[in-house]
Amino acid sequence: GMPDYGEFGRFERLLWAAYLCLALAGLLELWNGVAALSGGEPPWGPDALRHLYLAGFGTLLLLGMAPRMIPGFVGARRVAYPGLVDLSFYLGISAAWGRVAPVALAPFLPEQYPALGTFASYLFGISGGLGWLAVLCLAVNLGVTLKRGRTVAPRMLIC
């Protein structure tokens, strides 16, 4: 019943992005299914879909839910650094799309432009580091929040 005035960061953006990735993965799965049923070759490879599910949906969902839920579990009224939630959003989105775009678009890159393939490889390579930095932002934020301890007295549940 407590209102949210930004004390947990803008975690909603991470949740919206996670579910957008899930919806996109579902649409691409449908596209692949229609292509397979019509006798064609599925255009989207399993690696692109896997990265959409794991890096896009799974990671972004955890990065969005943890800053809102974990402080409540320990009785804290806010996360230590709401700005780190924003940073984890930018890093997490960059990491997810840095994984998905090169793998999904690789079959469609024209062969006469090898620089595009090289750029996609670099983008794929740095996306892992960006993902780890997003997780580090979450770990620092929650670690400091837990270290600061309780700011409210725990309630007793009487059943």
What is the per-residue pLDDT across 87-101, written as a single tens digit (0 to 9) for each? Answer: 999 999 999 999 998
Residue 75 confidence (pLDDT): 82
Euclidean distance between CA atoms 87 and 84, whole angstroms: 5
Rounded to 10°, the helix 114-148/82-105 angle is: 150
Between 11-25, 80-94, 114-128, the lowest mean confidence (pLDDT) is in 114-128
Of the candidates 135, 44, 42, 55, the residue with the CA atom closest to the CA atom of residue 99: 55
Average pLDDT for 117-129: 89
Q: Which of 39-43, 72-76, 105-109 has the highest mean pLDDT?
A: 39-43
The answer, yes or no, to whether residue 155 has pLDDT greater than 60, is no
* Contacts for 38 with CB less than 8 Å, ≥ 6 apart: none
The answer, yes or no, to whether residue 120 has pLDDT greater than 80, is yes
Give the mean pLDDT of the chain: 87
* Contacts for 39 with CB less than 8 Å, ≥ 6 apart: none
| Residue scoring higher pLDDT (117 or 52) | 52
pTM here?
0.83
At residue 158 the predicted structure's pLDDT band, cuts being 50, 70 and 90, is low
Please enumerate, as own/partner, the contacts of 36-43 that have beta carbons within 8 Å and a separation of 24 or more: 43/107
Q: What percent of the chain has pLDDT over 90?
A: 53
Euclidean distance between CA atoms 142 and 48, whole angstroms: 31
Residue 150 confidence (pLDDT): 61
Counts of helices then strands in the chain (DSSP H, E): 5, 0
At residue 4 the predicted structure's pLDDT band, cuts being 50, 70 and 90, is low
On the 0-12 / 13-18 / 19+ scale of CB atoms within 10 A, 7 is: middle
On the 0-12 / 13-18 / 19+ scale of CB atoms within 10 A, 153 is: exposed
| Residue scoring higher pLDDT (9 or 57) | 57
